[in-house]
Amino acid sequence: MSIANVLSIAGTDPSGGAGLFADLKSFSALGVYGMGAITALTAQNTQGVAGIHRPSQTFLAQQLNVLADDVRIDAVKTGMLFDTDIIEVVAAWLDRTNPPIVVLDPVMVATSGDALLQPEAEDALTNVVSQATVITPNIPELAVLASRLGEQVSPATTIDEALAQAVTVANSTGTLVVAKGGHVPGGQVVDALVMPDGTITQFHGPRVDTNNTHGTGCSLSSAMAALAAKDVIDGRNLDWKAVLARAKHWMTVSLLAADELSVGNGHGPIHHFAYQWAQAGTEPRLNGDQLLSLWWDRIGQLRKDIDALDFVRALGDGTLAQERFITYQIQDALYLSTYARVLASAAAIAPDRSAQAFWAKGANECIEVEMTLHDAWIPEGSENTPMDAVTTGYTNHLLSRAQLGHYGELIAAILPCYWLYQDIGDRLTAHNHPDHTFHNWLTMYGDPAFAEATLQAKTLVVDALDAASDTDRKRMWEAFYESCIWEYRFFDR
């Protein structure tokens, strides 16, 4: 029982981007055995739906029953159910077989805007929600479900509105709800897992600039079914928060690679097998900017963990004890003395004059600008304070990367000291005011010059990624991630 069996109950899409075919691709990409029972046959392409043919409910029941009589089903994902008769067949079968995991994607409208659920079937579909383990509505679908279960609402235009509607659905049905923020404007996509008790866990990720989004809803829900089934079969505790985080990461990769495909003239499909094709040496290679966005997405939970640290929260609201802040300043000054040497090493091996000048300027400013600010806080007599274990570990990590002499790996290790500091600073400066205990320090965080330097550092890393081999890209990611861990530990004081 090392490989999970997952069943999709859904309609077909001849273009392969959505519906049952997309589900089977998702299952295969994520390492489970996929099966399918067809609820409807569509005539559609990337530009729209031309026609729908529904097999009889008797034949659907036959598909489901013969499969359940023969095959162990570890999870079920439902997609397009189309009308009340089909929904009733599926509901009865779920009640009889009681699959351990049911992920329900309440498919109502295609990406093209064409209806995939008869309007009179909305109440029937709402009733089935309570039979699911988790549901994955998009913004319009969530509004329909919330309206059927509570007061009439319009599709959400903010993530807070979407969360309120998801709470209504989760509380009314006892089912976990994934509130998807893809339709909500903004530079980032915020999705959330809402528990029946109202507990909300948010997930932030980059908004991928692509027109190829056909089948994203189908594929995310089938990815969740696959990953959950794998966890259970492999003997791991089923954690839906972890499942959603992993499914989102896979979806981000699939979206980033989507433009490498050339399928149709409308909304094309995502690239379900981006990882597999990369490993086979036939990958649509992500450019450096895409890969850096993916790195940022990968450390999303770590960034939230940094924000939640007591030191960071107290620094923001001004309640941080002076002794703790001074201890931090001493260690940060010790760190900067080594960090300046590391930046100088980057300047020495940079491939062009522009990069050499940038890293050299950074090394100089560590001494002339930042150390001056530290001196305002550090009391006399602290010069001989030794590095603590965290400062020693972080600087040793950077020095070892410098000694290797690999430019891309070194600047990837340096980048978090720019990027994470600016990211934290963006939120800390919101608390700043002239009378703030740490006014000067927070002002430095919000300095536009530092934001510009961060952008330049990111650009240089993107350039290095574009020039790097796949092996070197892996080394760069490992150097970047290790530095992110050290940044977290540096704030965890």
pLDDT tens digits, residue range 100-148?
999 999 988 766 666 778 888 888 999 999 999 999 999 999 999 999 9
Cβ partners under 8 Å of residue 7, min gap 6: 34, 35, 36, 37, 67, 73, 75, 76, 77, 99
* More confident call, 354 vs 380: 354
CA dist., res. 23 & res. 77, Å (int): 8
113 token code pair: 């805007």
Active-site amino acid positions:
180, 213, 215-218
pLDDT of residue 432: 76
Q: What is the pLDDT of residue 375?
A: 61
What is the average pLDDT across 262-280?
85
278: confidence class by pLDDT, cuts 50, 70, 90: low
CATH of region 298-491, choose from 1.10.287.370, 1.20.910.10, 3.30.1280.10, 2.60.260.20: 1.20.910.10
pLDDT at residue number 381? 65
Rounded to a whole number of angstroms, the CA Rg of the chain reads 26
pLDDT digits (tens, 9 = 90+) for 209-236: 889 999 999 999 999 999 999 999 988 8
The residue ranges of every structural domain in the chain are: 5-281, 298-491
Kindly indicate the confidence band of residue 373, based on its pLDDT and cuts at 50, 70 and 90.
low
Average pLDDT, the chain: 89
pLDDT at 304: 86
Q: How many CA atoms lie less than 13 Å away from 294 in the CB half-sphere? A: 22
Structure confidence at residue 324 as a pLDDT band (50, 70, 90)? confident
**334: which 2 tokens?**
């010790």
- What pLDDT score was predicted for residue 168? 96
CA distances from 300 to 175, 295, 401 (A): 26, 9, 24
Portion of the chain with pLDDT greater than 70, in percent: 92
Cα–Cα distance for residue pair 246/99, rounded to 1 Å: 22
Residue 372 has pLDDT above 70, yes or no: no
- Segment 144-153 shows an average pLDDT of 92
Architecture of domain 5-281: 3-Layer(aba) Sandwich (3.40)
Grade residue 315 by pLDDT with cuts at 50, 70 and 90.
Answer: confident
Q: What is the pLDDT of residue 305?
A: 86
Long-range (24+ apart) CB contacts under 8 A made by 326-329 are 326/377, 326/378, 326/379, 327/493, 328/493, 329/374, 329/377, 329/378
Distance from first CA to last CA of the chain, Å, rounded?
45
Q: Is the pLDDT confidence value at 441 over 70?
A: no
Q: How far is CA 491 from CA 325, 331, 447, in A?
A: 11, 11, 20
- Report the predicted TM-score, pTM, of the whole model to 2 decimal places: 0.67
Residue 335 has pLDDT above 80, yes or no: yes
Residues 46-81: tens digit of each pLDDT: 998 899 999 999 999 999 999 999 999 999 999 999
Nearest to 165 by CA among 78, 174, 177: 177
What is the pLDDT at residue 445?
Answer: 65
